[in-house]
A and B are shown apart, each in its own frame.
Chain A
Amino acid sequence: MTPLAAKDRQDEVQRRGRGLGWMSLGLGVAQLAAPDTVRRISGVDDSATSRAVVPLVGVRELVHAAGLLTSRRKSAWAWTRVAGDAMDLTALGIALARRGGSRRRRLLAVTGAIAAITVVDLLTAVQATRKKDVGSGPARKGGSMELTATTTIRKPTSEVYAFWRDLENLPTFMAHLEQVRTTGARTSRWTADAPFGKDVGWDAEITEEVPGEKIAWRSTGNADVPNTGSVRFVPAPDGVSTEVHVVLAYDIPGGTIGKAVAKYFGEEPHQQLDDDLRRLKQVLETGEVVRSDGAPWGKRARKEFPQRPAQPLSDAELAKGADA
């Protein structure tokens, strides 16, 4: 499954989970506010037991609703609904065996409805559970991933272009790169940083370049993670700044490297490229990547929050560096 299709599927599961949550809320409120009406519709208004059971089921529905509407972990809560359905179907089965006439007809209708809802619950629960395996971002089992990002830098296009065209500058702001070494007029050797997968390196060639406007490149040979990239430099309407539009595409393999890459990009792969471009802007506009006490490691910061406290670093921390 492509990452995009997986994302659509996840959104659908989240949406359906919320829908079920609202249904639980409606049922729960009805069962608590008007238990006798619910008992009559269900054909169990002749039973003393149902007087106690219906409000209890109502309370249970409210618990489902709270879980489904407030938690992002729809899978666990969808399964509680499936368990609830099983209880209801059992209770309805017992009630059916003891009744005839119009009450039996009403009971059969309610049982049919619950059975249909059970199917939806079961489907949602199974999909919500399975979506974890698919993972967000790049598919764990491999697949292609395309990232786009854009920023505006208050420097002329010629300057921004020149900085990028010297590919050896890329590691100053791109978090996943350890080093880029120029090997020819259009060829270069790229080495990834540890979090991207240890000892991953590849050759690349520039496939298109229009000075001041565009650079495109792709990996060559037997790259572990075949990739392509392009960047366009567009004069901004203010007449001073440059819009930078970047597209990166990765062909992510299975196996250890694929896993490392997937882990690196994590839940929000776009965030990484956005941050890369923010650092590019800092470097070009201010001279270097800005550091704070909470986030002192520049591009080596791996976690947005919680970070280290906003208080000065000790000598030991400073000496130890990014892994502290």
Chain B
Amino acid sequence: MRANTWAGRNKVEVRDVPDPKILNKRDAIVRITSTAICGSDLHLVDGYVPTMQDGDVMGHEFMGEVVEVGSGVAADRLRVGDRVVVPFPIACGACAACAAELYSCCENTNPNAGIAEKMFGHPVAGIFGYSHLTGGFAGGQAQYARVPFADVGPLKIESDLTDEQVLFLSDILPTGYMGAEMCDIQPSDVVAVWGAGPVGQFAMDSARVLGAAKVIAIDKEPYRLRMAEEAGHIPVNFDEVDVRSRLLELTGGRGPDKCIDAVGLEATHGSAHIAAYDRIKQAVRSETERPHALRQAILSCRSGGVVSVIGVYGGLLDKFPAGAWMNRSLTLRTGQCHVQRYMKPLLERIERGEIDPTRIITHTLPLDEAERGFEIFKNKQDNCEKVVLKP
């Protein structure tokens, strides 16, 4: 089959690889009909996530049709011909983490738990196409994928919604939603979201759905801010205005009640000096993150507020404003999304028309053009917000 693979730093390559096979009894094989490039794929390609290997199949946002199931998958749960969206964290459904609905912390699905334990203290769940640290599972930017624990994760789509309407249930819609949910939003809340990429856009939409009074989008790409504005959110361009004073202005001097970091470890900063400082520290590996968005979110948030982090971090960061966090009674909440927890309720919201996930799609390309997709997405060319690939 054809598959988009990691081919070293800053390089992806669509190659011929063997078709996937059932390896465990509870596996299924899915013929992929739609898949997408995620912002977190860029962290892999840019070389910030360790343990990638040449030839790793990328991609963790995918859906398709079940073409084969293992002997351990009950027929009432999943059968050949079912149309499914596959959540990016692989979860067993039986361990203590899964019982607590902390699916991305599943204790059983990462065969490389030893590596993850060294990095993170305790292991994390397996993830499709997301380095060997998270299990070494082949990803979904391919014609077919093997899906372990197929009786736990995949969500059956039985209505006639299009791929584009449900594909993002695999990751970015639940991720954005969890970012807003962790904010415990009240009707009086002003919510500020750092990053107007796909996850940021969905965090904004979710904050509105959960009843926020006002939602602010912070980014520097005019086209992304325009997209947020068209969806009813208030744009703030950090290249043009001082974010702190603009946020004070928008909140009567209080600061946003809830702040969401939808940027993560490769943030850019309005000040060239500060951006350079962290870029250099990252390049010499004395920190692995460039945490500008997180720092600014903590400093901007009103006292007693919540800072919710859904942007991806992988290792160590520097100059964490612990003083602001502690002295101003801030709550910091975070996590890789527990996608399985949100898929069904969000599918219902899509069916009811409360959220329109298709609004962020700017490009649809054949799988064979994945390389170009990565290029325009990474460099923000051609007003690229989200690339969907068709195998």
Contact = CB atoms under 8 A, between A and B. Distances in A.
- Tell me, yes or no, whether A binds B: yes
Given A278-B113, A286-B26, A294-B112, A309 B148 contact: no
A7 interface: no
B217 to A, nearest CB: 35
A154 B96 contact: yes
Contacts of A304: 112, 114-115
Q: Give the one of A281, A288, A312 with max B CB within 10 A.
A: A312
A184 interface: no
Interface stretch (B133-141, B186-194, B252-260, B300-308): B133-141
Contact of A293 (B1, B94, B137): B137
A215 B255 CA distance: 61
A271 to B, nearest CB: 6
A307 B136 contact: yes
Interface residues of B, number: 44
Interface stretch (B14-22, B221-229, B356-364): B14-22
A310 B56 contact: yes
Contacts of B72: 287
Contact of B132 (A154, A288, A294): A294
Interface string A259-297: 000000000000100110010011001111011111110
A301 interface: yes
B111 A285 contact: no
A313 B21 contact: yes
Contacts of A305: 51, 112, 115, 132
Interface size grouping (class) on chain A = 35 or more
Contacts of A290: 24, 92, 108-111, 126, 148
A293 B27 CA distance: 12
A280 to B, nearest CB: 11
A301 B132 CA distance: 14
A169 to B, nearest CB: 17
A291 B111 CA distance: 6
Nearest to A152: B96
Contact of B53 (A152, A238, A292, A310): A310
Contacts of A298: 111
Contacts of A238: 96
21 contacts: A275-B114, A286-B149, A288-B25, A290-B24, A290-B92, A290-B108, A290-B109, A294-B112, A295-B132, A295-B135, A295-B136, A298-B111, A305-B115, A305-B132, A307-B112, A309-B53, A310-B56, A310-B57, A311-B18, A312-B21, A318-B21
Interface of A: 152, 154, 238, 241, 271, 274-275, 278, 281-282, 285-288, 290-296, 298, 301, 304-307, 309-315, 317-318
Given A152-B96, A154-B96, A312-B18, 19 more contacts: A238-B96, A290-B92, A290-B108, A290-B110, A290-B111, A291-B24, A291-B148, A292-B148, A293-B20, A294-B135, A294-B136, A295-B132, A295-B135, A298-B111, A307-B136, A310-B136, A313-B18, A317-B18, A318-B21
Per CB-CB distance, the 3 closest pairs between chain A and chain B, nearest first, are A294-B136, A309-B55, A312-B20
